[in-house]
Amino acid sequence: MADDCLFCKIIKGEIPSKKAYEDDLCYAFHDINPVAPVHILIVPKKHILGIQEITEEDSQTVGHMFVVARKLAEEQGLAPGENLERGYRLVFNVGRDAGQSVFHLHLHLIGGRSMSWPPG
Ligand code: 5GP
Ligand code: ZN
């Protein structure tokens, strides 16, 4: 935990959030400024600055974040289905140029509308 970190404060409950999921390794909550009908952030409870700081030690945690994302996507009705029609996007913004604004690792789960590629 880092004292001056927004997401550490959210994990500790010092700042309110709309919880989507929690276990020993991670916490998930709805983004305050959603860019799509579903926009959930999955964060490790351990304070890691971002993908730029992960090590082999974090492999289990980071892998687990993807499993949680897949389950949350299914709960939200975003599973691609037989025809692979629906779907969602999983995003790590790494560094300011990529759009990272909070420096505590977080995986964006975004869905509920069609999306274009490449991103802006
Ligand atoms: P980044 O730009 O670092 O990839 O993503 C940070 C995300 O955190 C943004 O989508 C932003 O809307 C979200 N966010 C920032 N502050 C808060 C907050 O206090 N509560 C919640 N729920 N989301 C936040
Ligand atoms: Zn933190």
Q: What is the pLDDT of residues 7-39, one digit of tens each?
A: 999 999 999 999 999 999 999 999 999 999 999
This prediction's pTM: 0.97
Cβ of 9 below 6 Å from ligand 1: no
**Choosing from 39, 104, 106, 108, which is the catalytic residue?**
106
Cβ atoms within 10 Å, residue 10: 20
Residue with tokens 């499993």: 67
| The pLDDT of residue 120 | 84
Domain around 74:
6-85+93-111
Domain count for the chain, please give it. 1
53 within some domain: yes
Cα 7 from chain centre: 11
For the chain, list residues with pLDDT below 70. none
Which amino acid is present at 78?
L
Distance, CA of 3 to CA of 1 (rounded, Å) = 6
CATH number at residue 33: 3.30.428.10
Residues in the chain: 120
Cβ of 100 below 6 Å from ligand 1: yes
